[in-house]
Amino acid sequence: MSEIQKKIDPAILYAIIAGCVISFVSFGFSASFSVFLRPMSADLGWGREIFSLSLAIQALMWGVTQPLAGAYADKHGSTQVLAFGAVFAALGFALRGILLDETMFILTGFIVGIGTGACSFPVVIVALGKVVEAKQRSFILGLGTAAASAGMFAGAPIATTLIGTIGWGVAIFFVAASFLIILPLLFFVSRASEKPSPSREQLNTIQAIKTAFSDRSYTLLFFGFFVCGFHVQFIQTHLPAYITDEGLAPIIGAWSLALIGLFNIGGSFFSGWSGQIYSKPKLLSGIYASRAAVIALFIFTPLSGTSVLVFSAAMGILWLSTVPLTTGLIAQTQGLKFLSTLAGLVFFSHQVGGFLGAWLGGRLYDITGNYEAMWIAAILFGLAATIIHLPIKEQPGKLAQAEIN
């Protein structure tokens, strides 16, 4: 951090610190909320599809909200977007502790998804990426992503401990209240936020989106990130339940998510650093190929506490390491002017994959009683993403060239 401090204006440095705390808070409990699946489903007599569908809708609405929040942030700055998201997310999680009818609980996924989509770490890291120099951008994107992973590391065991001591009904309100921590931190983010100049705009948002999708590299990133969402949301939602179904203790399920978060701190740092030196598309292909291999080894070897922890550590290194590379490529090929919007659209693809991973996992479990088909699908999707990212070019596209000129 001392090297960054020497090169970055103090206001931007404070914004980076505040942004990392926001990433930590906003992603921590929302990413580890699946530890509530088994106790809530058991106490309320639900099939797993009910809980999974609510989380799937949350993931999808997160994705729908991302480009809209990004477009607003591109024109007005990110502070208002983050404030709205924090309040809406807090409301949504609180309602999950109140509305225990199956249909109403499912519908809370819309509120939580909109809230987390507006205050989540992608909004934060894009805002930070705009105010630092290009040579620092990949590292800062990795730093913000690592902070989100640290939140996941802390969130799962904290939530599990709260459930065990005060019950899931009260623990949900602690989750809701945590989002309000974001509000005072926005003071520091606002001081460093770049305020776009309307007079410089030559393209409107729709034209920029059309131009971006005419670039094959952006289109491939859009479809490739779908796979990341499928992997993350399926594992995030169903891994703790899968582990306890196989006879292991619930705390191992919680620590599996925590270890993913812990090891992805290092994975995100390394990814952000590597993206400054090596080819980002090749790094992304390597990450997806490694995911496929790690999942295959996990499901085709005997399950034990040790194998779960090894899998979690390995998957953690690969978990959100795609984010700084993908976001960095969007900035590199499409420029900064519409970065929040274009990154938001790619995250929408991520969350469509997340919806499928969360919901289909629960649906197939209720039909078959196991997750075998989903694990196989995760492997095949990983291999497909490996191929998709290889043709991506790192040269500036039309939007980026227009900014340079």
pLDDT at 200: 47
Q: According to the model, what pLDDT value does residue 247 have?
A: 84
Number of structural domains in the chain: 1
Residue 30 lies in a domain: yes
Mean pLDDT of the chain, nearest integer: 86
Q: Is 295 a member of any domain?
A: yes
The amino acid at 128: L
Extract the tokens encoding 103.
């249909």
Does the pLDDT at position 2 exceed 50?
Answer: no
pLDDT tens figures, 306-344: 999 999 999 999 988 898 899 889 988 898 888 888 988
Is the model's pLDDT at 231 over the cut of 70? yes
Establish if 196 belongs to a structural domain.
Answer: no
At residue 358 the predicted structure's pLDDT band, cuts being 50, 70 and 90, is: confident
The pLDDT-based confidence of 194 (bands split at 50, 70, 90) is low
pTM given for the model: 0.77
Which band of pLDDT confidence, cut at 50, 70 and 90, is reported for residue 68? confident
Query: What is the residue type of 231?
Result: H
CA–CA separation, 262 and 255 (whole Å):
10
Residue 195 located in a structural domain: no
The predicted-structure confidence for 244-283, as pLDDT tens digits, reads as follows: 888 888 788 878 888 888 898 888 888 888 888 889 999 9
Eight-class DSSP state of 356 = H
Q: Calculate the dihedral angle through the C-alpha atoms of 266, 271, 276, 278, rounding to the nearest 10 degrees.
A: 130
Residue 405: per-residue pLDDT: 62
Residue with the bigger pLDDT between 3 and 342: it is: 342
Confidence of residue 221 (pLDDT cuts 50, 70, 90): very high
Is residue 76 pLDDT above 60, yes or no?
yes
Q: In this structure, what token pair is assigned to residue 310?
A: 């090894």
Q: Report the CATH number that the domain containing residue 180 is assigned in CATH.
A: 1.20.1250.20
Q: With 70 as the cut, is the pLDDT of residue 95 above it?
A: yes
Expressed as residue numbers, the domain containing 220 is 9-190+205-404
Q: Dihedral, CA atoms, 387, 392, 394, 396, nearest 10 degrees?
A: -170
Q: Is the pLDDT of residue 6 over 70?
A: no
Among the residue ranges 51-60, 123-132, 299-308, the one predicted with the least confidence is 123-132
Q: Pick the residue with more confidence: 390 or 355?
A: 390
Categorize the per-residue pLDDT at 3 as very low, low, confident or very high, splitting at 50, 70 and 90: very low
* Reported confidence tier of residue 195, pLDDT bands at 50, 70, 90: low
pLDDT of residue 377 exceeding 90: yes
Residue 55 lies in a domain: yes
pLDDT in tens, 139-189: 887 888 888 878 877 887 888 889 989 999 899 999 999 999 999 998 888
Q: Which of 214-219's residues contact partners 24+ apart within 8 Å by CB, and which partners?
A: 214/398, 215/333, 215/334, 215/397, 215/398, 216/391, 216/392, 216/393, 217/329, 217/333, 217/391, 217/392, 217/393, 217/394, 217/397, 218/330, 218/333, 218/334, 218/342, 218/346, 218/397
Mean pLDDT of 26-30: 82
223 vs 217: CA distance, rounded Å: 10
Position 193 scores a pLDDT of 60
Residue 185 maps to a domain: yes
pLDDT score recorded for residue 150:
84
Q: What angle do CA 18, 111, 213 make, to 5 degrees?
A: 75
List of E strands, 149-264:
none
Q: Model confidence at 199, in pLDDT bands (50, 70, 90)?
A: very low
Mean pLDDT of 17-25: 89
Instruction: Count the Cβ atoms, other than its own, within 10 Å of residue 107.
Output: 16
Q: Is the pLDDT of residue 125 over 80?
A: no
**What is the arithmetic mean of pLDDT over 63-83?**
85
In a domain, residue 323? The reply is yes
Q: What value does the mean pLDDT take over residues 226-240? A: 91
Q: Is residue 200 part of a domain?
A: no
Q: Do 68 and 158 meet the contact criterion of CB atoms below 8 Å apart?
A: no
